[in-house]
A = this chain, B = another copy of it.
Amino acid sequence: MTHRPDASAAPDAATLSNSRFLKALRREPVDATPIWLMRQAGRYMAEYRALREKRTILELIKTPELAVEVTLQPIRAFELDAAIIFADILPLLAGMGLGLEFVQGEGPLLHNPVRSAADVERLTVRPPEEALPFTLEAIRLARQALDPLGVPLIGFSGAPFTLAAYAVEGGSSRSHERTKALMMGDPQTWQRLMEKLAEAVGQYLKAQAGAGAHALQVFDSWAGQLSPADYRTHVQPYSRRAIAIAKEAGAPVIHFGTDTAGFLEDMRDAGGDAIGVDWRIDLAQAWERLGDGVAVQGNLDPAALLAPWEALRARAQAVLDQAAGRPGHIFNLGHGVFKTTPPDNVKRLAEFVHAATQR
């Protein structure tokens, strides 16, 4: 089995459209199950650490040539079926007026968090080419490098709720107390915040597809902190709106969240050609609930990549077994690659997924 088309014969758009990844997103039969990994570019790779040594993460993201280089690193190293543009979900908030900083060892900080109606009013939804030109340019450049390799490119954004959680908390949070207090206590301000975020997210995703991204992933990383009822009332309408805007550009959308086993159906109903599920639910059970109308992406525990190969292989096989016989499975982790992951495990995993599913 050849992993990718012969690089000497540059594939045209039709070839990429027939790539495993994009076919699986359309739930068409594929020659082998496609695999890519969330955070496949990152600190677990020596090549990445070398680039990062003298630069901040924001410098990498805001310099399109460097963002492209990072995007390509895992594609060169491993048999991965899609690239994802190297970026972060938080510059979108910076583009709306929040002061973003990544503090060594502490994670992201937003210096003027959104806590009141006045704070929400100050947020501006600017055209993506103005607010986030660097990532759109990186997508254009990445396509030039990836097209000859026959590898499709994924653009992405945080979902409105996950971005709202960062904006309100001013950074990461375990319990999202301030976010939920605003959502529950001042639903009108919440609604206005989510409307703005839905518009910004939707336009950003659409612009990424316009710049050349073949598919788009919406990360609702914190949605699973909510009750199903709060998700339905205070989140789902805005995710739906963002995804609807994104879809205007025609690219398929992957809708991903963690801790969502309690309301997978509600997530699906907000939109997405594929639903990304984490490892906290059996893939077969998740798919049974989601039905045949969507592709499914997932769902290996990223911790399995820390285990010896035999333990990793067994868990990867278990994921494949649960998806067997259904078109539309994209192999992935249930969350991002840990920075302690041995790269050789990523290499073997990608090869294994292809070999084990070859048709």
A-to-B contact residues, CB < 8 Å:
174-177, 180-181, 184-185, 224-230, 259, 261-263, 279-282, 285, 301-304, 306-308, 311-312, 315, 318, 338, 340
Contact = CB atoms under 8 A, between A and B. Distances in A.
A313 to B, nearest CB: 11
B259 A280 contact: yes
Given A262-B261, A281-B262, A306 B227 contact: no
Contacts of A227: 279-280, 282, 301, 315
A339 to B, nearest CB: 10
Contacts of A338: 175, 177
Given A180-B303, A184-B311, A229 B318 contact: yes
Contacts of A281: 228, 261-263
A188 to B, nearest CB: 12
A258 to B, nearest CB: 9
Nearest to A186: B308
16 contacts: A174-B174, A180-B301, A180-B303, A181-B306, A184-B311, A184-B312, A184-B315, A185-B311, A226-B301, A227-B279, A227-B282, A227-B315, A228-B281, A261-B262, A262-B282, A263-B282
Q: Most chain-B Cβ atoms within 10 A of its Cβ — which of A262, A312, A340?
A: A262
Nearest to A280: B262
B259 A307 contact: no
A302 to B, nearest CB: 8
A165 to B, nearest CB: 12
A316 to B, nearest CB: 12
A285 B285 CA distance: 15
Given A180-B304, A185-B308, A185-B311, 18 more contacts: A174-B174, A175-B303, A176-B303, A177-B338, A177-B340, A184-B306, A184-B312, A226-B280, A228-B280, A229-B282, A229-B318, A230-B301, A259-B280, A262-B280, A262-B281, A262-B282, A263-B280, A263-B281
Contacts of A224: 259, 280
A177 B311 CA distance: 15
Q: 8 nearest interchain CB pairs?
A: A262-B281, A180-B303, A184-B307, A261-B261, A261-B262, A262-B280, A227-B279, A181-B306
Contacts of A280: 224-228, 259, 261-263
Contacts of A180: 301, 303-304, 306-307
